[in-house]
Structure 1
Amino acid sequence: MERPLLSEKRSEIDENERLSSYQFVGRTGSVIPTASLAGMDVSIEEIRSATSFSTHYPPSVHAPLISSPQPHPNEQIIPHQGPYAMDYGAYSNDFQRQLLDEVEIRELLIDHIGHRCCWGSHPARTWKIHAVEDCNVYVGTLETFLEEREMVNETEPYHGGNLDGKDKSPELGLWELDLRSQFPVLFVPYKETRVKIPHSEILEKCSDCAGRGNIPCPTCNADQEPGFYKENQMSQCPACYGRGLIAHRDGSDTICTKCDGKGKLPCATCGSRGLLKCETCHGTGSMLTRKIAVAKWKTLSTRKVSATSGAASVPDEIFHTAKGVQLCNTQAYQCTPAYFADSFFLNKFSSDVIADRASVPPTARVICERHTISVVPVTRVTMRHRKQSFSFYIVGCSREVYLKDYYPARFCWGLCPCLEWLKV
């Protein structure tokens, strides 16, 4: 009979000890107070007023787009059962750590190895599980959703028609444009739109041809002063050298077919007109210039990871993508640090995330911010056989296995071309 490699004593550890790493989760009063921190539920009026800190910001935010913060797709929220119960902004003791036994640990490792070509499962099946450690990680994020506007000039040939200039109505300022029809859902990664600024059209002379519609031929009128040209400029025929006749060895002459006996050829560029149609204005002599507002909506993200020494070797990207448990989720025009009544560490961690918020460009305005703190369960497992050992991590609520470098049953040493298939 196969004997279990884990001692029975470990399976009988007191429940309080097994949850010691989560002792601050869900304590009474550990909520984010909604009365003292403004902006827990963002209203359209708040955003409109708050974003007008330097210049007038028009009502360009759709009220239906402003809603209660939602958890990220890879996170779950802890329902709060206290007097401040809300859909967000609180945490509770309903969270239970996922306990893994030996069978589950081995199954997860064997499944992970099964997706790696040329890796053997013998160590995963037979080596002794020497240690199972909790190395839980906290992930803090601050997302700043902003709108950036800049103005560019757009010029095109004028082919006639009515002008939308300042004579009809005053030109609107860049931040006076109503872009409600273009406004995206909050916290989209990026969206850009281009809108013509009303009453900004100006008609100007083409600078390349000075409004004439034509430019001197650069071939036959290359040395002429601007605005002057000569017609009927001819060049010597290269076939007959200007004679108009082609001499033969028997002493006879024939008329040059290239110049029809004239000895000269018209300019190949302009046909000796001396002028070419201006390509910039298409021969109209006028250019229509209008101002274009380029609006960009994007989300700037600040992310921080607080990991114990046991999980220090795991890249932060693993924790950012892992499925965790959300401890708080606040949304406001400008988020403030979260408050946990019984955890100085979480308060400090939240303050650090807020302090590192991304800088906002001078051409942008902040629309809204979202601040989250999540805990990602991480279990470090060490397996040993004689004097050999290796460690791997079980990360997140979805129990993804992360094995950094060493695994004792790798047969191709990274040289097998089939490993490239795994990267696809």
Structure 2
Amino acid sequence: MSEKTPLLSGQGGYAPVPGAGGYQPQGGGYAPQGPYPPQGAYPPQGGYQGGPPPAGGYPGAGQPPPSGGYPGAPPGGSYQGGGPPPAGAYPPQGGAPPPAGSVPKFSGEMPNEDVMDDPNSQEAQPTAPPMEKMDNIGGYSNVGFNANVLPPPSYEDVTKEQPPTDRQAIQNVPTITEQDARESLLNFVSQHCCYGKGAAEDLKFLDLKSTSAFHYTLETYGEGRSTCWAYEPYTGQMIDGPQNGTAPGPWDIQASPPSLFQDYNQSFEVPHTASVKPCHDCFASGYVRCHRCFGRGRVRCSSCHGSGHTTRYHDGEHRRERCHWCHGDGRRECYTCHGHGMVVCKTCAGHRNLKCYIKLTVTWKNHVNDHIVERTPLPDHLIRNVSGQIAFEESNQRVWPINHFHEREINEASVRLIQNHQFPTERILMQRHKVRIVPVTQCLYKWKNTESDFYVYGFEHHCYAPNYPQTCCCGCSIL
């Protein structure tokens, strides 16, 4: 079998079977599934249509709303309709940002005097809504804004099956000739600018001792799932809330990796968990206090430090001149808010409202461990990077340890690695293991009065010659 032959050719991804009570395997394996969501599953095409949910709202950041409350807001302060809200209802204007030119003046607490301009001041980053204001979704009571890793549901332990009775036979690998060994050494010398090729051309071989290195590899392809609350600006998109049905369990949602044994992750909005909340950072106004001027709209001039004048040395004397940056005023308009003292809220991007929902993240990870048996001075890691003869290869949802290989250490490594490939927070979709036999030849030679050796390994005939005798072009040896 060629090492480049793909495994499981034409086999698609594996996905859990949704249904009540979590995952139930069928036939000892995983049924292939299509991409999420399948036709007829949630959410149905075109989104969900529904009315507002029961009262129970979100006043925003634990503080009272602006004077008069939110325009058109229901008592709970939350809108969960299946489509755009009705005219005059909350959220206002279907989540549209405030119209251009309507930036309000900041009227809250601010410094008594203009602050010194700091062009490097950092704007506050978006903050998550308070957890106590999130909806109570059945089956997701412990979800926060940080990822909550979910252990997979229990399913039948397929390792209780009997090991295969007919396993692939172990194959041998070819040996190399003296010509192959010399060409390998010459290629090695050509990669070192100060090595002379005379020794490689003139040396006499004393013996070629062919041995084999064994490389065992175990791969376990697992699927992990985590949930967390997520939010984004509400711009009028469809809202699939609890009024459309009960949210499915995190392991009941279908998801398939694009291919087996490849790391990949994908995120989904859990159906029936979304709602619209007024932005807690700006109190549904779309604006927050400017971080540069702290709401005053003006800052002290950084050129004259607020004096309105600067001193310039000209024609041998110091002259006091009016500052040309602030025109002698000592103050100037804040470049960030353009004098309004307010900037667009980064949390809601000026749309005043947030769409909050539970996000499911599915992570497919390929866990790989190996063991190398190599009993010459050749470093083990060199075996890992070359090709060899695939002597044994097997894949299954659960593989059984190798017990018929003629090298006992490989059998023991197979047992140990398979026992260690247990991942409590992941569902194992597929495993595969293989043994490669990599040819290694010790080449004993004599050049002038020097006897030494080098090693040729892999089907590529790579060379390892740490004791090459001609390490300088002129023929002398570097000590």
CA offsets 1:380-405 (integer angstroms, 9 cap, x no match) = 11212354233211212x25132242
- Aligned AA (1:117): C
- Aligned pair partner of 2:414 in 336, 340, 350: 350
Q: Give 1:205's aligned residue.
A: 278
Structure 2 contact 15–255 (Cα < 8 Å) conserved: no
Q: Give 1:371's aligned residue.
A: 433
Alignment of 1:385-404 (within 5 A): 385=447, 387-396=449-458, 398-404=459-465
Question: Deviation of residue 374 (structure 1)?
Answer: 2.3
158-167 or 340-349, larger mean C-alpha shift: 340-349
- Aligned AA (2:214): Y
Q: Give 2:250's aligned residue.
A: 174
State the TM-score, normalized to the length of structure 2.
Answer: 0.54
Structure 1 contact 58–176 (Cα < 8 Å) conserved: no
Structure 2 contact 196–473 (Cα < 8 Å) conserved: no
- Aligned AA (1:323): S
Q: Aligned pair 1:194/2:267, yes or no?
A: yes
Q: Give 1:318's aligned residue.
A: 382
CA offsets 1:290-315 (integer angstroms, 9 cap, x no match) = 2322222221111100111xx2x323
The answer for unaligned runs of 5 or more in structure 2 is 1-7, 35-163, 309-324, 475-479
Structure 1 contact 201–291 (Cα < 8 Å) conserved: yes
The answer for unaligned runs of 5 or more in structure 1 is 1-39, 65-83, 224-232, 243-257, 414-424
- Aligned AA (2:399): C
Question: Deviation of residue 368 (structure 1)?
Answer: 0.7
Question: Deviation of residue 219 (structure 1)?
Answer: 7.6
Bigger-Rg structure (1/2): 1
- Aligned pair partner of 1:117 in 190, 193, 202: 193
Q: Aligned pair 1:91/2:169, yes or no?
A: yes
Q: Distance in 2 between matches of 1:139 and 1:387?
A: 37
Question: Deviation of residue 346 (structure 1)?
Answer: 4.5
- Aligned AA (1:339): N
Question: Deviation of residue 138 (structure 1)?
Answer: 1.1
Q: Aligned pair 1:289/2:356, yes or no?
A: yes
CA offsets 1:340-374 (integer angstroms, 9 cap, x no match) = 186655433432443454x53x5422111101122
- Aligned pair partner of 2:467 in 392, 395, 406: 406
Q: Give 1:62's aligned residue.
A: 32
Q: Distance in 2 between matches of 1:184 and 1:355?
A: 28
Structure 1 contact 340–346 (Cα < 8 Å) conserved: no
Structure 2 contact 225–362 (Cα < 8 Å) conserved: yes
- Aligned AA (1:194): S
Q: Distance in 1 between matches of 2:456 and 2:387?
A: 12
- Aligned pair partner of 1:184 in 254, 258, 261: 258
Q: Distance in 2 between matches of 1:235 and 1:137?
A: 73
Question: Deviation of residue 47 (structure 1)?
Answer: 8.6
Q: Distance in 2 between matches of 1:268 and 1:139?
A: 64
Q: Distance in 1 between matches of 2:245 and 2:211?
A: 65
Q: Give 1:67's aligned residue.
A: none
SS of the residue aligned with 2:451? Answer: strand
Q: How many residues are paired up? A: 314
Q: Give 1:26's aligned residue.
A: none
Question: Deviation of residue 179 (structure 1)?
Answer: 1.5
Structure 1 contact 328–338 (Cα < 8 Å) conserved: no
Question: Deviation of residue 99 (structure 1)?
Answer: 3.6
RMSD: 4.5
- Aligned AA (1:191): Y
Q: Give 1:331's aligned residue.
A: 395
Structure 1 contact 314–404 (Cα < 8 Å) conserved: no
Q: Give 1:302's aligned residue.
A: 369
